Structure 1
Amino acid sequence: MTQFIKDYVSSCQQCSRNKNIYHKKFGFLKSLPIPNGPWICLSMDFITQLPLSNSFDSILVIVDRFLKMAVFIPTMSSITSLEVAHVFIKNIFSKHDLPSFIILEQFLCIYVSYNQDDWNTWLPLAELAYNNSDHSSTKQSPFFTFYGRDPQFESVHIAQDTPAGKLSTKFQSVQKDVKRELEVAINRFKRYAYKSKESLPVFNPGDMVWLSSKNIKSTRPTKKLSERWLGPFPILKKVSSHTYHLKLPYKWKSINPVFPISLLEPVRTSTIPNWHQGPPPPIIIQAEEEWEVSQILDSKFKKRKLWYLLEWKGFIQDTERSTWEPAKNLKFFP
């Protein structure tokens, strides 16, 4: 009886659509390919909504993925793509040539909180402090990797009561702040990156999976009461170890059919004989109910109008499985 109940609950489609998944998310982090040299592959990101400093409210962060060296460029959140191109040419292309790959990614804002309204003034110092910190991947600082030596500002002795001395003291404070926050960020990343993940399942073409409704707009009044999982949908092909191409209904053609494995859940089939779970709920598209057609069985003319005999996907009983429908009802099907 216990096994029967487990089988029934795990394969219940209505339960699968509406219940939360309690296992850890699929998929460990997958690293990007290692570049062949410096300034070939760059990552870019904007840190926005910062306190206004000398007319700037954003930072363009460009990181070389080989050296781990970063460039911090003050800018405005209203910057256009053409202006970004000019900034890139001035700060990167003129010094390091054109990269082969550019990756947009998120970057942790670790510095501005220490210097609210004058961060633009200290941004170059923060950049040097970042580049002078040992990276966990290379075990040395990006500055040393690129120049073959460490910066020599620590060996310079300046009287503390002079303007230059005050600037030097401020710089050392900035460097300590950045290094401390970098260490906190690295430790936090290590602690949580794998804590909430589990190993990947392997799907093959033809396997049925549930698709998370997390990023799919629902026509129901409240998202909280909507189905958590849609489908099931068959897998057409494996794009990579972390992404799959699904066969979606034709009216979902505006949705990219390639999804990360973190949004998929395998369909568990039941071993209970002669168990009929009933037809699947309709697919809501543009506030209209639509069912998915399995195949067209026949056609005929009725009162000079074309009709098709359709077999509906998911229906078991003969009285529900196939019906005659006018051709106009199929105009959105491929």
Structure 2
Amino acid sequence: MYHPVNSVQETKIFTTTCLDSSSIPIPNGSWIYLSMDFITQLPLSNSFDSILVIVDRFSKMAVFIPTMSSITSLDFAHLFIKNIFSKHCLPSSIVNDRAPLFVSSFWTNLCQQLKISRDLSTAYHPETDGRTERVNQILEQYLWMYFSYHQDDWNTWLPLDEFAYNNSDHPSTKQSLFFTVYGRDPHFD
């Protein structure tokens, strides 16, 4: 077996400088600890070319928000307030990658003022935020299966994709994400 000369030292440096899942707080309630990511480079659909995916780390419930890859930090903050804060209150912690919006001075200062802890994943280590990466994969499958041949109407179907995802049973709980958060299944009457 090969052992680099400085393997112990390199391991210590790696483990102390990289964010891993063990340093992220364990969720103890819905919408307190979130993770966020973007799905980008989608075909243009009613002026949208990206999706902001926000996942509650406790329930695994997700919100899918159509947006543009050219979104500003201020517009991003408005999306967050409209889609998360107004419905679920302020989170205590957010995990995300180092996308420019997530590390912008505006977003950094806003989170500091609102006392939201930010945990940034290390580049090329998406496992830090594995749940959101998995949700992105599922959403991309939904989009691929259900939007039109011309791929120009995916934003129209996004709310239904979100509903379908949030009302599917999760393997660990054997109940829907909707049930985990609200204690009941949605009504269809």
TM-score computed with the length of structure 1 as normaliser: 0.37
Which residue of structure 2 lines up, in the alignment, with residue 110 of structure 1?
141
Amino acid corresponding to residue 93 of structure 1 in structure 2: F
Tell me the secondary structure at the aligned position of residue 54 of structure 2.
strand
Instruction: Give distance in 2, aligned partners of 1:12 and 1:36.
Output: 41
Tell me the secondary structure at the aligned position of residue 110 of structure 1.
helix
Tell me the secondary structure at the aligned position of residue 94 of structure 1.
helix
Following superposition of structure 1 onto structure 2, how do residues 87-126 of structure 1 map, counting pairs within 5 Å?
Answer: 87-104=79-96, 105=129, 106=133, 107-108=136-137, 109-114=140-145, 115=147, 116-126=151-161
1:146-174 residue CA offsets vs partner (Å, 9 max, x unmatched)? 22222233xx6xxxxxxxxxxxxxxxxxx
Which residue of structure 1 lines up, in the alignment, with residue 49 of structure 2?
57
Aligned-residue offset at 1:142: 1.0
Following superposition of structure 1 onto structure 2, how do residues 41-56 of structure 1 map, counting pairs within 5 Å?
Answer: 41-56=33-48
Following superposition of structure 1 onto structure 2, how do residues 1-334 of structure 1 map, counting pairs within 5 Å?
Answer: 30=21, 32-104=24-96, 105=129, 106=133, 107-108=136-137, 109-114=140-145, 115=147, 116-153=151-188
Structure 1: state its 5+ residue gaps: 1-5, 17-28, 157-334
Instruction: Give distance in 2, aligned partners of 1:79 and 1:98.
Output: 21
Amino acid corresponding to residue 60 of structure 1 in structure 2: L
What's the RMSD between the two structures over aligned residues?
A: 2.6
Structure 2: state its 5+ residue gaps: 7-19, 97-128
Instruction: Give distance in 1, aligned partners of 2:161 and 2:92.
Output: 27
Tell me the secondary structure at the aligned position of residue 111 of structure 1.
helix
Higher helix proportion, which one?
Answer: 2
1:254-280 residue CA offsets vs partner (Å, 9 max, x unmatched)? xxxxxxxxxxxxxxxxxxxxxxxxxxx
Amino acid corresponding to residue 162 of structure 2 in structure 1: E
1:108-146 residue CA offsets vs partner (Å, 9 max, x unmatched)? 222221212211011000000000011123321111112
Aligned-pair identity (%): 73
Tell me the secondary structure at the aligned position of residue 95 of structure 2.
strand
Ranked by relative contact order (alpha carbons within 8 Å, sequence separation 6 or more), the top structure is 2
Aligned-residue offset at 1:70: 0.6
Instruction: Give distance in 2, aligned partners of 1:71 and 1:12.
Output: 44
Higher strand proportion, which one?
Answer: 1
Aligned-residue offset at 1:86: 0.7
Instruction: Give distance in 2, aligned partners of 1:12 and 1:68.
Output: 40
TM-score computed with the length of structure 2 as normaliser: 0.63
1:68-87 residue CA offsets vs partner (Å, 9 max, x unmatched)? 11111000011112211110
The size of the alignment, in residue pairs, is 133
Tell me the secondary structure at the aligned position of residue 44 of structure 1.
strand
Instruction: Give distance in 1, aligned partners of 2:57 and 2:64.
Output: 15
Change beyond 3 A, Cα 1:80–1:139: same
Amino acid corresponding to residue 118 of structure 1 in structure 2: D
Instruction: Give distance in 1, aligned partners of 2:141 and 2:33.
Output: 23
Instruction: Give distance in 1, aligned partners of 2:79 and 2:50.
Output: 13
Runs of 4+, deviation exceeding 3 Å: 10-13, 29-33
Change beyond 3 A, Cα 1:55–1:137: same
